[in-house]
Structure 1
Amino acid sequence: MSNFVLFDDPVIRPALLPFTFTRPVADMRVGILTIAEKWARRLDTTPSFLTQPYLAHKYPQQTTTDNLYVNGALCPTDALIDRLKTLSTGESLLAPNGLLLAIRTDRAVDDAALLTELPQHTETFDAPIPTIRHLWSLIAANGDQIISDFSLITASRQSQPITDPFTRCYAPENVFIEEGAKIRAAILNAEDGPIYIGKNVHISEGSVLIGPCSFGEGTMVHYNSKMRKNTSAGPYCKIGGEIGNSILYANSGKGHEGYLGDSVVGEWCNLGASSNTSNLKNDYSTVKLYSYAHKGLVDTGRMFCGLFMGDFTKAGIGTMFNTGTVVGVNVNLFGSGLPPKHIPSFSWGGAIDGFMTYRLEKAIQVATEAFKRRNRAFDEQEESILREIFNIERMGPSNSPFNLFDPL
């Protein structure tokens, strides 16, 4: 097959901030796997990325004289894969709404916006494709993607058995347990969807898991936890309390009581004890959410919509999040009261005393310590990404594609 590159659509990427500040669109997790991991397993290949220059060292692009560029917001389907395999050089696929899905070319491209300028023959592909176009697309698609990924990961494989005599399992045929996982006195109900338990996951006493849900490698579910359907966490998360229809990216913690609903939490985040999210308005109207692309609130069309928290953000004990709150990268949030529905990256403070700019060197120090706690090295590559995000959000360089709102 052609060299495979997942590109950041220049319209979709800003709509997925703050998560795309720190990763390409295709490195976002929805379901059990990231979008890139889905493509890698489906095509038995290692994709590379066409993304922003400051992310390119961590997510490099590999090119040859035969390159297949695929929109990184697309979750693969059998029909799309079959069509991509027949795509000719110089041919592109468009959705009926004009969205560029894929293009095969003998050229290397260093800016996704240039893809539409290449000489090409265009074809329309009108079969449905799960597409992550907005922040709320993640929670809307998560349940179906757990089911799809479960089938992909477990095909022709044998689950480890449940050996604990005090664990009760409903529909065990829909439960898959990887090696090293420990389950103690828990209830697993997979009657309405599968439950995936990754390598070395620990499900503690008294926990209730309702499928579809998934827990990535090394994740710990603390005792008496309530994991509602359409929830995925990990790898290496520590979670507890009550979580429903939510995604927690790698190395994040919500280890105590409190409710997290219809939300997405980035990597290296932590929610303090008794932190809670509102995901439903008192008048049952649809939730409006801050959009970086529109520099203001947009209507999600969803009645249920909670918290969207960028990487490296920390919330102190008892933090209360309003319905439809968007928090940027590397925010330190604490104190009582309801904070604003949008908190820019590198903010420090709370609802009562207000916010100031989080000192960059202090933020990097805290991120370094967080990595050490997981036996990881916070290297120059990671540091340079945070420094660039700080410049984008706080300094507002005129040449930045993300200079989308005024800094504090």
Structure 2
Amino acid sequence: HYPWELIKNNGNQLRADFNLLKKARPVKKSSQKKFPGVHILNGKNVVVGEGTVIKPGVVIDAENGPVYIGKNVQIMSFSTIIGPAYIGDGSIVKVGAKIYPDCSIGPVCKIGGELESTIIHSYSNKQHDGFLGHSYLGAWVNCGAGTVTSDLKNNYSSVKVYVNGDPVDSKMQFVGVTIGDHSKTAINSTFNTGTVIGVSSNVFGTGFPSKYVPSFSWGAAGETFTTYNIEKAINVAEKVMIRRGIALSNPEEKLFRKIFDLTTDERRKRGMPL
């Protein structure tokens, strides 16, 4: 499947998974007494894991889809979560976050600003103001403050997305950004509809970068990117992971090097210094 197909089907998959959970073990209505000052709509469609803290002023709206919140999650005041939605173990939802339907987050993510129809894998952070819509983020991604993506073209036509360096018609009106594992966006980064960023890339600067940024790219929007040195990329990944108590394994390091080799031609075709 293409990433945009996963996004398109995520809401229905969340509903199906929740129904399987209810069959496996009955889901008790989430107790509002346990979370004073929290507004829970349709509590029978809300599951909250052990050790989770939900601060006063939070709204959890499960009227049109279930909301599953894992263990040891922190949800800060004045956040809104609208189902269907999944928030994985150990994640943090920052003050005033707006999580719209069809979002899957975590585990161990930090989320702020506005999310809609977005899948975010483990250990990724989008904790500041900004908008991600109809987007797909891999693991260990970090989005700087003010990162914003477009997910709808001004002419409302279907969005073309680069796959293996070539454009593919998604036949969908809403497609945001796809970001590979260990990539990073700087503060106030903006991405056009259907942008793809590969693995371990670093994007910064003002304006829109190219709609396809190959893996191991480093550079500013509107300028020619350069190749991100593989040794430096691995070193940064090690630093990032050890902060979470996880060591980069030998197979993961080999995978880094393999992806770097496999994407050399993509960078060369775009005139990037090797």
Report TM bin, short chain.
over 0.9
Please tell me whether residue 145 in structure 1 is matched to residue 10 in structure 2. Answer: no
Look up the match of 1:336. Answer: 206
Q: What is the SS of the residue equivalent to 1:136?
A: helix
Look up the match of 2:38. Answer: 167
Q: Distance in 1 between matches of 2:260 and 2:25?
A: 46
Distance 1:349 1:405, change over 3 A: closer
Q: Distance in 2 between matches of 1:353 and 1:287?
A: 24
Deviations 1:168-189 (A, max 9, x none): 0110010011111111120010
Percent identical among aligned pairs is: 42
Aligned length: 267
Q: What is the SS of the residue equivalent to 2:225?
A: strand
Please tell me whether residue 134 in structure 1 is matched to residue 34 in structure 2. Answer: no
Q: Distance in 2 between matches of 1:142 and 1:337?
A: 30
Please tell me whether residue 350 in structure 1 is matched to residue 220 in structure 2. Answer: yes
Look up the match of 1:117. Answer: none
Please tell me whether residue 235 in structure 1 is matched to residue 235 in structure 2. Answer: no
Q: 1:234-383 alignment to 2 at 5 Å? A: 234-292=106-164, 295-383=165-253
Distance 1:343 1:274, change over 3 A: same
Look up the match of 1:390. Answer: 260
> Counterpart of 2:131 in structure 1: which amino acid?
Y
Shift of 1:404: 11
- Is the Cα contact below 8 Å between 1:161 and 1:177 reproduced in 2? no
Q: What is the SS of the residue equivalent to 2:139?
A: coil
Q: Calculate the TM-score normalised by the size of structure 1.
A: 0.63
Q: Distance in 1 between matches of 2:77 and 2:200?
A: 33
What value does the CA root-mean-square deviation take over the aligned residues? 1.6
Highest Rg: 1 or 2?
A: 1
Q: Distance in 1 between matches of 2:85 and 2:268?
A: 36
> Counterpart of 2:6 in structure 1: which amino acid?
L
Residue ranges of structure 1 left out of the alignment (5+ in a row) = 1-132, 397-402
Q: 2:65 aligns with which of 189, 193, 196?
A: 193
Q: What is the SS of the residue equivalent to 2:152?
A: coil
- Is the Cα contact below 8 Å between 2:31 and 2:43 reproduced in 1? no
Q: 1:206-245 alignment to 2 at 5 Å? A: 206-245=78-117
Shift of 1:152: 2.4
Q: What is the SS of the residue equivalent to 2:71?
A: coil
- Is the Cα contact below 8 Å between 2:11 and 2:101 reproduced in 1? yes
